[in-house]
Structure 1
Amino acid sequence: MSDYTNIAHPYAKASFDFALGENKLQEWHSMLSILVTVAEEETIAKQISSAEGVHTQQSEELVNLIIHVCQGLVDDHVINLIKVLAENGRLAVIRDLFNLFSDLKDEHERVIPVTVTSSELLTQDQVTSLTAALEKKLERQVEMEQVIDNSLVGGIVIKAGETVIDGSLNTSINRLAHQLHAR
């Protein structure tokens, strides 16, 4: 969790509530994603960092630059959000605002992102079976991402929100070694 999470929360919540009220959650998610990409571009990111916490002529020029780059890709409401963030010296929270917005959207849509780490790519049958089992257990729609970790000897590690299920062979071997040392 970033230092900016608490600062970003009210902006994310207000953005989410507005998008939900307008029935434009996906559109806002896409526009905020674009805003993050622009804000994290090296030149702009440096300017955001140097303008953090203050509203100056330099920050107004920065806002105009961000709006110019985003023009046609975001609507007037997101442009207003950019202006409000800048007026309050909060442009540095854009990434956290997006992450919190995404969390609120996922919670609303009852979707949970799940990361499955294994030593090799799972087959389509394994993905289908694992997804069905996780959706039943978690009572949510699962969006699965596969990560390959060659350091795992076998098995898988599943991360869903704050829950981690470690079924890796490495962990089983370590657990067995610990039990043998304890005796």
Structure 2
Amino acid sequence: MINISTIARPYSKALFNFAKSYKTIKFWNKLIIKIEEIIKKISIKYPNILIFSKYSVLPNIELIEIIINSLKKYSNNHVKNFVSILVIKKRLFLLPKIITQFHMMKNKYENINNIKIISAYTLTNKQLNDLISILEKKFNFKLRASVIIDKNLIGGFRLIIKDKVFDFSIYTKLKKLHSTLMIY
């Protein structure tokens, strides 16, 4: 069975390369999210719309027109072509994966990495900004942070950047101390 990511990759790669070559990455970033919102609204009215079968609830032309008409301020020939390809090839179901892959390519192109900050307590904006600033200098790339509160850490925080975990929590320090004491 082919993975959805594998099917979506050529679409997201082509879209990103197109956006990069025309210097419209921000535009397409907003646009694909907007298209997804529109499709979700259409899906409520027509629940079977995202099934990629030969039989559709709406004819392709009608579905393309509904989406394009909903994108009035974003619409141009390139947008219409993109939407048409997804509709005609029955690939609307790939849009969430295309968006994820597009964002990953965008972040790599802009040298931005995601960081998860798992904290025992809510961080103030100043604390968060200071921490991100220090980490950006240390790692030499921009960071986009998401903060998760986990009271089990007792105090401190855990950082997850790419595939690395940095644990500065009291919980982990207590576990290490416990392990050390159990040896003796």
What TM-score, normalized to structure 1? 0.82
Q: How far apart, in 2, do the equivalents of 1:71 and 1:148 lie?
A: 40
- Higher alpha-carbon Rg: 2
Aligned to 2:96: 95
Going from structure 1 to structure 2, the CA distance change for 1:156 and 1:28 (only over 3 Å counts) comes to same
SS in 2 for 1:10: helix
1:95-118 CA distances to partner (integer Å, 9 max, x unpaired)?
Answer: 110111111111111111222121
Going from structure 1 to structure 2, the CA distance change for 1:10 and 1:59 (only over 3 Å counts) comes to farther
Q: How many residues align?
A: 180
- Alpha carbon RMSD of aligned pairs, Å? 2.6
Aligned to 2:144: 143
Following superposition, the deviation at residue 55 of structure 1 comes to 6.2
Deviates more, 1:38-47 or 1:25-34: 38-47
Tell me if structure 2 keeps the 8 A contact 1:118–1:157.
yes
Aligned to 1:157: 158
Going from structure 1 to structure 2, the CA distance change for 1:181 and 1:24 (only over 3 Å counts) comes to same
Specify every segment of 5 or more residues in structure 1 that has no aligned partner in the other structure, as ranges.
none
Going from structure 1 to structure 2, the CA distance change for 1:170 and 1:43 (only over 3 Å counts) comes to same
Tell me if structure 2 keeps the 8 A contact 1:39–1:94.
no
Aligned to 2:19: 19
Following superposition, the deviation at residue 34 of structure 1 comes to 0.8
Going from structure 1 to structure 2, the CA distance change for 1:126 and 1:56 (only over 3 Å counts) comes to closer
1:120-150 CA distances to partner (integer Å, 9 max, x unpaired)?
Answer: 2223443233212321232211122323333
Aligned to 1:104: 105
Q: How far apart, in 2, do the equivalents of 1:119 and 1:45 lie?
A: 44
Tell me if structure 2 keeps the 8 A contact 1:120–1:148.
yes
Specify every segment of 5 or more residues in structure 2 that has no aligned partner in the other structure, as ranges.
none
Identity of aligned residues (%): 24
Q: How far apart, in 2, do the equivalents of 1:105 and 1:44 lie?
A: 33
Aligned to 1:169: 170
1:68-117 CA distances to partner (integer Å, 9 max, x unpaired)?
Answer: 32333444322211110122111101011011111111111111122212
Aligned to 1:6: 6
Q: How far apart, in 2, do the equivalents of 1:32 and 1:105 lie?
A: 13
Tell me if structure 2 keeps the 8 A contact 1:63–1:82.
yes
Aligned to 1:118: 119
Q: How far apart, in 2, do the equivalents of 1:45 and 1:141 lie?
A: 41
What TM-score, normalized to structure 2? 0.81
Q: How far apart, in 1, do the equivalents of 2:59 and 2:180 lie?
A: 59
Tell me if structure 2 keeps the 8 A contact 1:48–1:62.
no
